[in-house]
Amino acid sequence: MRERVCVTGIGMITPIKPFQGMDEFWNALCSGEDVIKKMKPPMLKHDKEWLMASIDLSDFPNPVNPEDKLQFLVEKAFTMARDDAHLQGDQTTGLSLGTVLGNVLCKEKRLMEQKTYHRGYCLEKESLSYITSHLVSKYKVNGPGITVSTACASGTDAIGVAARKILAGKADCMIAGGVDVLSDFAITGFHAFQAITEEKVRPFDKNRSGLAFGEGAAFVVLESERCAVQRKAKIYGSFLGYASRADAHHMTGPHKEGRGLAHAITQALLQANLKPDEIDYINAHGTGTVYNDLMETKAIKKALGNAAYDIPISSTKSMLGHSFGAAGVIEAICCLLSMNTGTIPPTINFQERDPACDLDYVPNVARKHRVKVALSLSAGFGGQNSALVFGEL
């Protein structure tokens, strides 16, 4: 019989109740707490403000150097997940980390301050895979260590890659996560694409006008069912399927019919051996941009047919903003929490229905709903599309 993979630990730091634990986070999210506000970017000397969801480090009891934010968040979320799973030392444990920008913040700061090569000092932290190397080294990770970068699908792919490592027998356990923090590079870049909204983030709404930035770090502990059962671990849910497919269409724009995402959903369900009407909840990529939300709606309908109209879909980015590499993992955790609490978080700021986006987006108010199977979707630059399926064990 094929080995199964379970989720036995979760941990994350997001802009919503960042240091108050998972219950506080979930309650606030399901209450539709909106923490997105206009702010200046972290380092840029510019008067313009953009909508962002930021993690305020002053909320943390001990002082943290803002320059070490990424490393701080990643270690907090990593240890939260590891401690939640009560991992034991005798397992082969690996790490799979998804990130869009890696540790470019360090390099960016140097560039911003115009400390160019003439100053000639080398910062090890500038290495793009530094976070993974650091965690591997500090926490004595003895299994595979991988950094995955597939744009905004990075976190989702990090989980998929990790699960496959366990299924291939390369590790008993994998800690899979994603991280990215607010950076001037990303903010100004998306500004150049006119992808940032000037008002509320309204995924799937007729008047949606773009995304807002977020940040965070999130990890899940994936473990073979054999190991999890043997050590009587708490099981949040079972990993049932994963697929990643490319649009091969455009570097920054999604395929208008959602070809790649539909294909990824179909393949993930095939792997999970599930039919469309067995899905109880979809956590959408739902950025709030005109093109993404339309494409995503078409992809869901194409892959799931008529069943798509009966499945509750929500975009938690309406509250958390888009945290890039962390987004896929945060949203996977939201799927697991939905399964465990029987509550689906809402899509907030939803005012007017778009005739082209005609599915059930759980507008504004959370919903009580039994979730046995949940689907988490991600898409990103480069034509990346990924789908994860989780289920009750």
Partner 1 sequence: MGRLVLTGIGPLTPIGMGKKQFWDAILNGFSGIRKITKLPAFSECYGGEIGDINFDEYIPDKRFRRTADISRYTMLAVKLAIDDANPDSSSLENLGIIVSLTHGALNYTQSYHRLLITEGVESVSPIFFCDSILNASAGNTSICFGVHGPVHTLIGGKTIATKAILRAAQMIRAGAIDKSIIVSADELNELSFSCYSRLGLSPLSEGAGALFLENEHTMKGVFPYCYLSGIASRSNPSDLSLAFHTTMEKSLEMANLKTSDIDLVMAEPSLSDMIGRCLNTGNIPVGSIASLTGSAFSVTTMWDIIVSALIIKYGIAPSSIISKREKLPDEIRNIMICVTEREGVASTVILSKYP
Residues 53-112 that bind partner 1 (CB under 8 A): 94, 99-102, 104, 107-108, 111-112
Which amino acid, residue 307? A
* Rounded Cα–Cα distance for residues 114 and 331 (Å): 37
Question: Does the active-site annotation cover 86?
Answer: no
The stretch among 18-26, 68-76, 334-342, 382-390 that binds partner 1 (CB under 8 A) is 382-390
Q: Give the N- to C-terminal CA distance of the chain in Å, as an integer.
A: 16
Give me the residue label for tokens 């034991």. Answer: 88
Task: Kindly tell me which residue out of 91, 129, 209, 341 binds partner 1, with binding defined by CB under 8 A.
Answer: 129
Q: Establish if 243 lies at the interface with partner 1 (CB under 8 A).
A: yes
Contact 157, 148 (CB under 8 A): yes
Nearest to 155 by CA among 175, 182, 177: 177
Residues 137-176 that bind partner 1 (CB under 8 A): 137, 140-151, 157, 161, 164-165, 167-168, 170
> b or e along 251-266 (b: 16 or more beta carbons within 10 Å of the residue's beta carbon)?
eeebbeebbbbbbbbb
| Strand, helix or coil for residue 333 | helix
Minimum distance of partner 1 from residue 66's CB (angstroms): 19
* Backbone φ and ψ of 218, nearest 5°: -150, 145
Residues 254-313 that bind partner 1 (CB under 8 A): 259-260, 263, 267
Q: Establish if 184 lies at the interface with partner 1 (CB under 8 A).
A: yes
Question: Does the active-site annotation cover 285?
Answer: yes
Question: Does the active-site annotation cover 152?
Answer: yes
Which amino acid, residue 111? L
Q: Establish if 38 lies at the interface with partner 1 (CB under 8 A).
A: no
Minimum distance of partner 1 from residue 326's CB (angstroms): 15
| Strand, helix or coil for residue 87 | coil
User: Which of 21/192 has CB closer to partner 1?
Assistant: 192
Q: Establish if 36 lies at the interface with partner 1 (CB under 8 A).
A: no
Nearest to 283 by CA among 370, 378, 205: 378
Task: Kindly tell me which residue out of 136, 311, 329, 332 binds partner 1, with binding defined by CB under 8 A.
Answer: 136
Sign of CA dihedral 143, 381, 390, 371: positive
Minimum distance of partner 1 from residue 69's CB (angstroms): 19
Which residues are catalytic, by number?
A: 152, 285, 322
